[in-house]
Structure 1
């Protein structure tokens, strides 16, 4: 590898680096179509990025020996590669074999935890390389494996690269045999690949043009060989050590929410020693993984079918400005958001809540009476967050809606909006009201992709237009005519949702409601009353309290 290759690829756009001075380029990639990245041929370029190969290991000393023997024969420069093996409590403890990469460390898992996710977090914290390559301790990789994945990281700094693999029944091989075969390019002769079991994800990768046309490419990022920048790892929050099965998919979902692009490289070949667990006991594996993903990956709509449930990560965040509105109006807007056809919604009420001190203050004549009533209505509600401002980043929530309090959502408004934004594959849906106001439904991954690419002074919506597209639609598409009745349902049962099992799945748009918005008069206070006047029932209660105080 002596020939130098332009690390920006061909047709790269955007700022040269996150801070505008040196570092990796950030070409504009639309959706997951990484075609603007032109990788150099293997062996015909000069790498410069250091990589840390993190291997979580629990027992299996012989398999680890074979993994390290293959790593010792890589074409990637040895001075740019370190290996961190994390012993996750093996008994007896693991040891480093004689055949291993020059810079290899064996460390114990950090105190206070266990499991694959915990071990990877330990290794990533100790890693010195700019890139983290996660590799299972029962993988034998070809000699170009690390090089093939690393070449993409030299082209853009927000890619996640995925290696190829097949499964073979373990065969008697020594570290010396593995090292020699990998070093000499005889990878195919090392194992009987005619009986190998292909990875199910590779069929998906081929069907979706190398994931270029994939709507949710994180699905195939299943862990045994995957690499990402340490900065991206930190931005996603690392692995969730509470997830004991499916930790790779859950982490890949959060990587997607940061705006990452997923690039599989089938030249990064590998053999996984042993058959996939799914072939041994599919039903049990699915049952064990399902609750972890149901709680943390909202796009898995098929795992959230029980009515009345609340989930760790909601599907949609609804942001409403509470200040300046009467408590009944805010309460109606929150009730509409939480009572719609989408069950897993969280509401963020924005107001200067820290202004409401707990010390002695006027009660009935408090200038902040309405805000205090809103606070007391929702401070104990798990579905409502009181915040001085919406969080800058909605992740890991995949959708954020921001709209006027004066126009409560219809029962199916969010459902129809999400269906439309998915059908259009847009990153932003702008809802236009007749009076000139707008509401927004944002895709979190698109917003964060735009933030990665936007330069100083760039309009974020304009960048979203380039990476995912911006779609505009009149509000009448999402609110039925005022005369339209809600769908009839059996008492005590919610109306069935038509959201597809996975939001990435194509679906026909429902018949769009047309006609005017619900009467704006319904949103206004009674004639002659100030905007913050309480309704008649509330006024009667206040008068009753005052009469009692006068006794």
Structure 2
């Protein structure tokens, strides 16, 4: 993982996803960072020629620009212009199938820029593209910007259209309506949450090197079309990225969007395969729902700090554990050890682990340990949210059983509001804390300047109450108390 951001770098940490609080640019070019454009390529010389021609017209100093062509095993290497106005190189990998994600990872590994601008090989960036795509990265090491991918009628190219020429209205194809709605409803992702990965597309994606490396870059194990940009974007979010859509960073795609290139059934087959792959890798509820979990990529981990001892009743602890699993069905539940013999029924559930089994005892099979925060290699294993219960609690009597859909939405609402840490107080003081992976990674990144937003709530206002000495398990499970 990258070292902590230094004070000398004069970065300005901002809470939540508030990229709008970053300092505004003061002039067109004084703080333009070094940019590496990474282009995955496969047997498309004509497209590459258009892309490189468009990059020569960019409104930024050529000495600050590097272009890396990552060839995904083309039979013949791409031909390059004789005297490009920027550093230009090709790096190649063997043809082992469609491996655009691996190509991007390979290109990033040799890129030298402070900012990585990923552009697909069939994109034609407008002359203003890089200026608008990189300006936030000049102000935050957490900046991740998705541009606007527009669609050009290929017939326009046959009419000798060149990059930088005006595009007549009749040559503009439809943009995906779902993306337009998403950007409009979130204020260009200002109100993003962990499901916003769906709106980050690698064809026009710009990432600061610091957050890129913290999140681990593109996953080279993806083979086949689609999904790798969403999986990477979700890791970026969990590592504390500032996700933004910049509509002024326009680039043209030759031809229609994916939905317009495939017949309905063929497209559904591709997207279903993509969904099944992402369900194994992405913990957000839009990737696998709120009831299907993962032993290695949990969305929520519940840690019970309350053990059944002189101050906590065994029935109260058991009811609390059951209520939390009902609220978060896919959660991993960690119990304090040792678990009393009367409560060992809880350990029969594969979601439940003992945090510290006593010497000589048999621990729950295949327990999942919690990695130390701040280790990039362990980002996938750290839950999106860790909920620590300090005293046994239960849904308020008369409120009905826990609603897992409402619990999932509660966390998403916190993310959209920029609340990376939640503290819930009961009658006896602090009862529950919820800490996101974003808070853990940003605390390491910023040190004492950690911008994570903290919100305090009241247990009763959340519809819960302490699980007292009068706990009646039969009534709880039977549904009458």
Q: TM-score, normalised by structure 1?
A: 0.67
- 1:421 deviation in Å? 4.5
Checking the alignment, whether the CA contact within 8 Å between 1:348 and 1:390 is kept in structure 2 is no
- 1:123 deviation in Å? 0.8
What is residue 20 of structure 1 aligned with on the other side?
7
What is residue 258 of structure 1 aligned with on the other side?
239
Taking a change above 3 Å as real, the CA distance of residues 392 and 195 of structure 1, as seen in their structure-2 partners, is: closer
Structure with max Cα Rg = 1
Taking a change above 3 Å as real, the CA distance of residues 128 and 262 of structure 1, as seen in their structure-2 partners, is: same
Partner Cα separation in structure 2 for residue 258 and residue 50 of structure 1: 23
Checking the alignment, whether the CA contact within 8 Å between 1:157 and 1:229 is kept in structure 2 is yes
The partner residue of 1:238 within 209, 217, 223 is 217
Q: 1:403-442 residue pairs with structure 2 within 5 A?
A: 403-404=389-390, 407=392, 412=402, 418-423=408-413, 425=417, 426-442=419-435
- 1:317 deviation in Å? 1.5
Q: 1:476-515 residue pairs with structure 2 within 5 A?
A: 476=460, 512-513=463-464
What is residue 248 of structure 1 aligned with on the other side?
229
Partner Cα separation in structure 2 for residue 372 and residue 333 of structure 1: 27
* Structure holding more strand per residue: 2
The partner residue of 2:358 within 371, 390, 398 is 371
What is residue 249 of structure 2 aligned with on the other side?
268
The partner residue of 1:34 within 1, 13, 20 is 20
Query: Structure 1, residues 440-492: CA drift from partner, whole Å, max 9, x if none?
Result: 1123234544554443xx6x6xx433xxx412222x566xxxxxxxxxxxxxx
- 1:321 deviation in Å? 5.3
Structure 1 unaligned residues grouped into runs of 5+: 1-16, 353-368, 479-511, 524-551
What is residue 519 of structure 1 aligned with on the other side?
469
Taking a change above 3 Å as real, the CA distance of residues 409 and 372 of structure 1, as seen in their structure-2 partners, is: farther
The partner residue of 2:457 within 466, 472, 481 is 472
What is residue 492 of structure 1 aligned with on the other side?
none
- 1:229 deviation in Å? 1.5
Partner Cα separation in structure 2 for residue 421 and residue 278 of structure 1: 32
Query: Structure 1, residues 237-292: CA drift from partner, whole Å, max 9, x if none?
Result: 11122334211111111111121112222222110112111222442332122112
Looking at both structures, which has the greater relative contact order when contacts are Cα pairs under 8 Å and sequence separation is at least 6?
2
What is residue 198 of structure 2 aligned with on the other side?
219
What is residue 109 of structure 1 aligned with on the other side?
93
What is residue 228 of structure 1 aligned with on the other side?
207
Checking the alignment, whether the CA contact within 8 Å between 1:26 and 1:157 is kept in structure 2 is no
Q: CA RMSD in A?
A: 3.9
What is residue 64 of structure 1 aligned with on the other side?
48
Taking a change above 3 Å as real, the CA distance of residues 236 and 168 of structure 1, as seen in their structure-2 partners, is: same
Q: TM-score, normalised by structure 2?
A: 0.76
Query: Structure 1, residues 364-396: CA drift from partner, whole Å, max 9, x if none?
Result: xxxxx961366x231x23xx4245x75457845
Taking a change above 3 Å as real, the CA distance of residues 373 and 398 of structure 1, as seen in their structure-2 partners, is: same
Structure 2 unaligned residues grouped into runs of 5+: 339-355, 396-400, 474-481
Taking a change above 3 Å as real, the CA distance of residues 175 and 140 of structure 1, as seen in their structure-2 partners, is: farther
The partner residue of 1:165 within 110, 124, 149 is 149
The partner residue of 1:286 within 238, 255, 271 is 271
SS at match of 2:248: coil
- 1:299 deviation in Å? 2.0
SS at match of 1:269: strand
The partner residue of 2:75 within 91, 111, 119 is 91
